[in-house]
């Protein structure tokens, strides 16, 4: 039986795990609904699998890294279209958002109206939140302001790093998308307004927790939280944290929570007690060497 939708085209925009899962799911439903499917890669990532998925299934793939070119591409769409912004930092122009034949939904990696803007996993860890979650919402001219389609929550565990939380949130986002997609296509998804505070803080990509300075006079727990909050592995989301050791500027290379007895000697190693039987091992290098 054919699915019910008036959308003639579905455009997916994004990168990363959630985008791959959304792309695969939307492709799997394509025969049922009959829409044309287009994928746009705006930000190129080292481990992206979306091009491979498109190649395997014959999905129209566009790599458009230039913002102006992307805006023009989207502006040329004439059919009734659903644009899915799966994990994407491109801000849709108001002129596009306001078009009657265009509907845009976006995944945000926090529970809106809380933590709008960039790098939400970082800020929830840094602020010591115990729970966070994901939001799929309709896109309006404002950033992360549109009405909410679905939200799901998850716990932030005491050792969770930003990339681990990001992974958890992407899994939740894919799950929530699968639950909502049919209603979104049928334009009957239940929504609720965000009711946000106009004074809420919009996190920007240039903002770094603690201004990127690791203050060794802080408690080890606070230091550990800061380290975890900016930890996206080798993705240069933030510059390396800076600190001062013995009056010299140093850069943090890596860190690890270890059980108390596992200490080893070595240059550029620092240990801080962390709870009863654990320590925070920090590897650093002086900047003047």
Partner 1 sequence: MEEKILEILEEHCEEALDYEGDSMMEDGVIDSFTVINVVSDLEDEFDIEIDAKYVVAENFRNKEAIIALVQKLLEE
If one asks whether residue 8 binds partner 1 (CB under 8 A), the answer comes out as no
If one asks whether residue 196 binds partner 1 (CB under 8 A), the answer comes out as no
Gap between the Cα atoms of 195 and 213, Å rounded: 34
Contacting residue, 4, 52, 63, 204, with partner 1 by CB under 8 A:
52
Q: Are 93 and 73 in contact (CB under 8 A)?
A: no
Contacting residue, 1, 2, 100, 236, with partner 1 by CB under 8 A:
236
Q: Are 160 and 124 in contact (CB under 8 A)?
A: no
Gap between the Cα atoms of 211 and 80, Å rounded: 44
Cis amide bond preceding 113, omega within 30 = yes
Query: What CA–CA distances, in Å, run from 158 to 210, 234, 275?
Result: 19, 22, 12
Q: Which stretch binds partner 1 (CB under 8 A): 58-66, 94-102, 178-186, 252-260?
A: 252-260
Touching partner 1, residues 20-49 (CB under 8 A): 45-47, 49
Which three-class secondary structure string do you get for 159-192?
CCCHHHHHHHHHHHHHHHHHHHHHHHHCCCCCCE
Query: What CA–CA distances, in Å, run from 141 to 51, 98, 137, 138, 207?
Result: 29, 8, 13, 10, 22
If one asks whether residue 16 binds partner 1 (CB under 8 A), the answer comes out as yes
Supply angle C-alpha 103, 22, 109, rounded to 5: 80
**What mask, x for binding partner 1 by CB under 8 A, covers residues 115 to 154?**
----------------------------------------
Query: Which of 19, 81 has the CB closer to partner 1?
Result: 19
Contacting residue, 153, 235, 244, 249, with partner 1 by CB under 8 A:
235
Q: Which stretch binds partner 1 (CB under 8 A): 27-35, 65-73, 98-106, 249-257?
A: 249-257
Contacting residue, 5, 81, 164, 226, with partner 1 by CB under 8 A:
164
If one asks whether residue 1 binds partner 1 (CB under 8 A), the answer comes out as no
Contacting residue, 101, 254, 263, 287, with partner 1 by CB under 8 A:
254
Query: Which of 82, 124 has the CB closer to partner 1?
Result: 124
Gap between the Cα atoms of 83 and 36, Å rounded: 12
Q: Which two tokens stand for residue 71?
A: 């805006």
If one asks whether residue 253 binds partner 1 (CB under 8 A), the answer comes out as yes
Give residues in contact with partner 1 (CB under 8 A): 16-17, 45-47, 49, 52, 163-164, 166-167, 232-236, 253-254, 256, 266
């Amino acid at each position: 039986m054919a699915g019910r939708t008036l959308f003639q085209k579905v455009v997916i925009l994004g990168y990363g795990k959630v985008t791959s899962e959304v792309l695969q799911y939307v492709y799997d439903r394509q025969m049922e609904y009959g829409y044309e499917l287009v994928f746009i890669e705006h930000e190129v990532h080292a481990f992206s699998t979306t091009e491979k998925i498109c190649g395997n299934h014959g999905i129209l793939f566009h790599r458009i890294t230039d913002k102006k070119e992307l805006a023009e591409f989207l502006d040329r769409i004439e059919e009734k279209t659903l644009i899915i912004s799966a994990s994407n930092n491109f801000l849709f122009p108001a002129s596009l958002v306001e078009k009657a034949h265009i509907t845009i939904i976006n995944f945000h990696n926090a529970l809106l109206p809380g933590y709008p803007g960039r790098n939400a996993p970082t800020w929830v860890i840094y602020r010591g939140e115990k729970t966070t979650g994901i939001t799929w919402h309709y896109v309006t001219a404002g950033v992360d302001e549109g009405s909410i389609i679905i939200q799901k929550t998850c716990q932030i565990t005491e050792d969770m790093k930003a990339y681990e939380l990001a992974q958890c949130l992407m899994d939740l986002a894919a799950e929530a998308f699968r639950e909502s997609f049919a209603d979104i296509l049928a334009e009957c998804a239940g929504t609720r307004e965000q009711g946000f505070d106009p004074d809420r803080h919009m996190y920007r990509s240039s903002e770094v927790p603690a201004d990127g300075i690791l203050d060794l006079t802080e408690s080890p727990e606070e230091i550990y939280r800061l380290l975890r909050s900016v930890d996206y592995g080798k993705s240069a989301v933030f510059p390396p944290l800076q600190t001062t050791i013995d009056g010299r500027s140093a850069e943090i290379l890596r860190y690890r929570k270890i059980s108390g007895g596992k200490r080893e000697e070595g240059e550029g190693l620092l240990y801080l007690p962390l709870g009863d039987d654990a320590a925070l091992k920090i590897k650093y290098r002086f900047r003047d060497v």
